[in-house]
Structure 1
Amino acid sequence: MKYDWVLFDADETLFHFDSFGGMKLMFERFGVNFTRDDYDAYQLVNKPLWVDYQDGKITADELKIIRFEGWATKLGITPFELNSAFLEAMADICTLLPGAKELLDALSGNAKLGIITNGFTELQAIRLERTGLSDYFEHVVISEEVGVAKPDLGIFDHAHQLMGLPCKTKILMVGDNPHSDVLGGINFGIETCWLNTQGVQTPAGIHPHYEVNSLEQLRMTLFA
């Protein structure tokens, strides 16, 4: 194994993140039939907020409030309550990506493992526990707790400090987002792997050290 540490993104890298399924389940619990059109309208608000969050223009709390303000008013609850209900629903439907468990089993004992995620604290521990992954990871670094999100170098530096400052040439960052995971890792000076399950074109100016279409392909690549 070339690496002493392998760091993973969480959503759509280790875990499926079916946000429509989570929203539908959450709203069912409130007695609301949440449609695909409702979801599309929600995403018009939500997606730009995540870009602003990754760019450091808004905080995690602001993201939670703004994205659910409209629905919270309709339901007569606070945006924070609705956000918690959504994260609870996402935990309830959480599944692993194909090959995730096999990859982690192969890496265990050969490298130390960590997670760096821009997701919210409320979801991470329960999801790791329910999928049986809690014991695999030395550190779980969450942007909401650190105060900056990937691709900001601050979150990578925070993780590096927790890891005991290992040589950067011995660290691999794996993620599905070419901007936050790959470019963030490259800018920090570590090697990167882009999990490109959709087969889309690499964005201009971003050059991951590896590009794979599945976690199984990554496993074969690392242990070739």
Structure 2
Amino acid sequence: MSYCESVGFDWVLFDADETLFHFDAFAGLRQLFAGFGVDFGAAEYEEYQRVNKPLWVEYQEGRINAKTLQESRFALWGERLGVAPAELNSGFLSAMADICAPLPGVPELLNGLRGRYRLGIITNGFTELQRIRLARTGFAEHFEVLVISEEVGVAKPDKAIFDHALDAMGNPDPARVLMVGDTLASDILGGLNAGMQTCWYNPGAKAIDPGIQPHLEIRCHSELARLLA
């Protein structure tokens, strides 16, 4: 008997970016800034990430809100171009909605799970991208629950966003919920703290954090499909 059969899941929750969808921020930023006549290259991207990455840490730790993150990451570029940071952020999310594609195997996985498990998404991404992208790909019909940190006011790994998701799901037994995500520090740690079963999507075979132990680990979506078959 497999681990999945012995546990017996009712729900499968997914992270969105880099779990269901490829998220190429560099390509999105190039598209955004091309509209302003800027040749956005590797050096510009490195400069952007020096600002962006610490902001995401602060956001996930609950020290800043989504609006602060979204606008602060474009503050320097807003000054250079004479454009409001909020406008640049909106343009970036629009560009990402245009270019983000499902990861290989995701459509087949979702089609295989539909009707056999109840499905949901819990994401630290932003509303302006998440809802449009799900609608454009046709994935929205697969998911009963969509929990977005920007709308809830807290981000993974905060237990509150997982509790919010469980409430929206009708308060099932967390032990019968499988949380699938690519990031140990947010998806897996948050799922563990909420009492859920967890599955780490780790296509690059990254080293595990000894302090965060997922119940399952997969390299590809077909592997998860087999585990849940």
Separation in 1 of the partners of 2:106 and 2:67? Answer: 30
1:40-72 Cα distance to aligned partner (Å, 9 max, x none): 110011011101100001110110111100001
Separation in 1 of the partners of 2:24 and 2:99? Answer: 8
1:160-197 Cα distance to aligned partner (Å, 9 max, x none): 00000011121000000001000110011000000001
Residue in structure 2 matched with residue 99 of structure 1 by the alignment: 105
1:54-203 to 2 correspondence within 5 Å?
Answer: 54-203=60-209
1:91-137 Cα distance to aligned partner (Å, 9 max, x none): 01010001111110111000110000000011011100111101000
Runs of 4+ in 1 over 3 A off after TM superposition: none
Separation in 2 of the partners of 1:203 and 1:78? Answer: 39
Mapped pair 1:28 → 2:24: no
Separation in 1 of the partners of 2:71 and 2:24? Answer: 20
The share of aligned pairs that are identical, in percent, is 57
Separation in 2 of the partners of 1:4 and 1:32? Answer: 49
- SS for the counterpart of 1:149 is coil
TM-score normalised over the length of structure 2: 0.96
The alpha carbon displacement at 1:30 in A equals 1.6
Residue in structure 1 matched with residue 14 of structure 2 by the alignment: 8
Separation in 1 of the partners of 2:22 and 2:165? Answer: 23
The alpha carbon displacement at 1:204 in A equals 1.9
- SS for the counterpart of 1:11 is coil
TM-score normalised over the length of structure 1: 0.98
- SS for the counterpart of 1:174 is strand
Deviates more, 1:189-198 or 1:26-35: 26-35
The alpha carbon displacement at 1:220 in A equals 1.1
Question: RMSD over aligned Cα, in angstroms?
Answer: 0.8
**Correspondence for 1:48 among 30, 49, 54:** 54
- SS for the counterpart of 1:95 is coil
The alpha carbon displacement at 1:3 in A equals 1.2
